[in-house]
Amino acid sequence: MVLLGGILSLSIAADVLAARTALPRVSLLVLLGVLIAVVQQLWLPRPAALLDELARPLIELALVMVAFLLGSELTLARLRRTGWLITVISLAVVLCSVVVVGAGLWLLGVPLVVAIALAAISVATDPAAVRDTVRGSNDTRLAARVLLGIVAIDDGWGILVFGLAMALLGWLLAGDGNLALWRALWELGGALLLGGLIGFPAAWLTGRLAPGEPTQVEAVALILLLAGCSAWLGVSPLLAAMTAGTLIANFSPHHTRSFRAIEHIEWPFLVFFFVLSGMIIDLRQLDDALGLALAYVLLRLFGRWLGGWLGIRLASPARRARLPPHIGLALTPQAGMAIGMALLAAEQFPEYGARLLPVVVCSTIVFELLGPLLVKKVLR
């Protein structure tokens, strides 16, 4: 309890430092976790198991909250507004990122599990970093509107791609092909089913509760049910939570109440999530991970650029002339979703966890620092 209180107290200092500098607070929180890991793993005579029992549930709750809130963005009205251009560019960036990162790492001799996992993780984007940079520039041109539309749906693609990748790897690595195939289908189909079983009743209930404490209780209950049932049934918690959030957003007349209730309590869990993500890195494996992290960063940058360029080539000549060809580089920031995917992949394939986590944590810090600069460059 003392350590949890200390983490929250230090996060306030990180907020102040982020407000006074150009450093993203996500990167500062992850670095805080790395500093705790240095003390824990290198300075103590015997590595201490700090927060081991609390780390997993705190991380899972934070991830489910993020995915649930992401579902609120995927309304039919919003998808209609995004239009054909945004959908095409978004899909082109997703496909190119997956192919370039996955194939590139595999050709460099990276194990198939790590290559596919990082390829799926490469799809995730930090929408807050992109939105804040675009709005801070007061840019209302077509390129800015397209970027805001893409980041609104980008992590939805990311969760789908990651779920497919984990199911595919589970099938490829299992000895019994038929049984593994059914497990893979269950991981995805079961998540959609669970999201529907929780989402539809919640959509009905949300419109019948008075604002305030009852709505907050319902929102917390949803998060706990989604996290617990996903673990119990062995399905993707991200896909289940996103499905439930999407259903509530589309079928409840007062859906914003539940999402606002989650937003009010989300940040302390995200603080624990980012700090714990830095804490669980095995620093003894860090040297081996730096080369892989560099390759991942370069391949992802190229994949984002290529996807944006191809997507724009499919646009009409009039719109093509108004869009920068390197628009994909503005979609490089990564944060919680990428780290969360790495944690889930490490949990599913623990023999590769020590290699995956340092790569994603290091690259996330790089992308959080580099991303806003690239957004400004694209919009210049």
pLDDT for position 47: 47
Least confident of 102-111, 189-198, 369-378: 369-378
| Residue 50 pLDDT | 55
**pLDDT class for 255, splitting at 50, 70, 90?**
low
In a 10 Å sphere around its CB, with 0-12 CB exposed, 13-18 middle and 19+ buried, how is residue 50 labelled? middle
| Residues 307-332: tens digit of each pLDDT | 989 988 887 676 766 778 888 888 88
pTM: predicted TM-score of the whole model, two decimal places: 0.79
175-207 pLDDT, tens digit each: 555 666 677 778 788 888 999 999 888 888 776
**Best CA proximity match to 301, nearest among 281, 328, 283, 319:** 328
pLDDT of residue 78: 67
Can you list the pairs that 307-312 forms with residues at least 24 positions away whose Cβ atoms lie under 8 Å?
A: 307/89, 307/92, 307/93, 307/94, 307/95, 307/96, 307/97, 308/89, 308/92, 308/93, 310/92, 310/96, 311/88, 311/89, 311/90, 311/91, 311/92, 311/93, 312/89
Please give the span between the terminal C-alpha atoms of the chain, in angstroms, as a whole number: 47
Question: What residue ranges define each of the domains in the chain, with the CATH number in brackets?
Answer: 56-379 (1.20.1530.20)
Residue 19: CB atoms within 10 Å: 9
Q: Write out the H or E segment, with its range, that includes residue 378.
A: helix 353-379
Q: Are 100 and 114 in contact (CB under 8 A)?
A: no
E strands present in the chain: none
Residue 163 has pLDDT above 70, yes or no: yes
Helix, strand or coil, per DSSP, at residue 283: helix
DSSP 54-68: HHHHHHHHHHHHHHH
Phi, psi (deg, nearest 5) at residue 241: -65, -40
Sign of CA pseudo-dihedral 87, 296, 283, 354 = positive
Mean pLDDT on 201-222:
71
Q: What is the pLDDT of residue 207?
A: 60
Question: Angle at the Cα of 129 (from 123 to 130), degrees rounded to 5?
Answer: 70
Report the distance separating Cα 345 and Cα 187, nearest Å. Answer: 13
Of 107-116, 209-218, 256-265, minimum mean pLDDT range: 209-218
DSSP character at residue 303: H
